[in-house]
């Protein structure tokens, strides 16, 4: 296994897990540069106004980062871990765009996506939206404090739909409950064991901690 993408809803712990795997296994880590997006604070204030420029900016930023930082498949050495993947762009856009805007966005996405490698394993961290809201509150990003339960639930359902449609991709869905793998190393050890078990099949492989 050479390339792992870690995904999940807002506040699920993607970045923390990617960094911990990188440290434990000496992996190359790619972290999303979301904090640099100038449209994000505006989107949380006025979604209708900022949705299209926000999603286009994410589309361009994520593509440029992954295209620039992901090595060619034969050059992956020894392991690359990213705390997001390009499909995230379409999943979020499906909840913020509609009509002609979404149609145009999807066309651009498909063109770009075809030139990026598919992860060997796609890890999805699942947490209940109520737990996510607690995590979002704890990390204190001011522009995230207006996020609502129903928005997180829609994003979650979009991820589930995406995973059901991509039957050729290997997904490891880890239901974390309220466990904290950052402070509890036993939980992290179990997650690491699950990721590198090597017995995953195409489609969704679900594990409950």
* CATH number of the domain within which 183 lies: 3.40.50.300
pLDDT at site 141: 81
Instruction: Determine the pLDDT at residue 145.
Output: 82
Question: Which of these is catalytic: 46, 83, 128, 186?
Answer: 83
What pLDDT does residue 9 have? 96
Tell if the pTM clears 0.75, that is, is over it.
yes
Domain count, the chain: 1
- Domain range for residue 82? 3-208
Angle between helices 99-113 and 47-69 (to 10 degrees): 0
Segment 80-135, tens digit of pLDDT = 999 999 999 999 999 999 999 999 999 999 999 999 999 999 999 999 999 999 99
User: Is 184 a known active-site residue?
Assistant: no
Q: Kindly give the residue spans of alpha helices, DSSP state H, lying in 70-184.
A: 87-96, 99-113, 129-139, 149-165
């Amino acid at each position: 296994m050479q390339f792992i993408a870690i995904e999940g809803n807002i506040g699920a712990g993607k970045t923390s897990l990617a960094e911990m795997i990188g440290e434990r296994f000496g992996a190359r880590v790619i972290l999303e540069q979301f904090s640099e997006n100038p449209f994000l604070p505006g989107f949380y204030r006025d979604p209708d106004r900022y949705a299209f420029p926000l999603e286009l900016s994410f589309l361009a930023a994520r593509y440029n980062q992954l295209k620039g930082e992901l090595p060619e498949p034969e050059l992956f050495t020894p392991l690359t871990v990213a705390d997001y993947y390009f499909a995230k762009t379409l999943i979020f856009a499906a909840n913020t765009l509609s009509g002609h805007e979404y149609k145009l966005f999807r066309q651009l996405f498909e063109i770009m996506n075809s030139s990026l490698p598919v992860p060997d394993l796609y890890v999805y961290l699942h947490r209940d939206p109520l737990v996510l809201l607690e995590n979002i509150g704890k990390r204190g990003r001011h522009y995230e404090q207006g996020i609502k339960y129903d928005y997180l639930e829609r994003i979650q359902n979009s991820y589930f739909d995406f995973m059901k449609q991509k039957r050729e991709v290997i997904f490891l869905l880890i239901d974390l409950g309220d466990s904290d793998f950052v402070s509890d190393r036993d939980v992290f050890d179990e997650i690491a064991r699950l990721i590198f078990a090597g017995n995953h099949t195409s489609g969704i492989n679900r594990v409950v901690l």
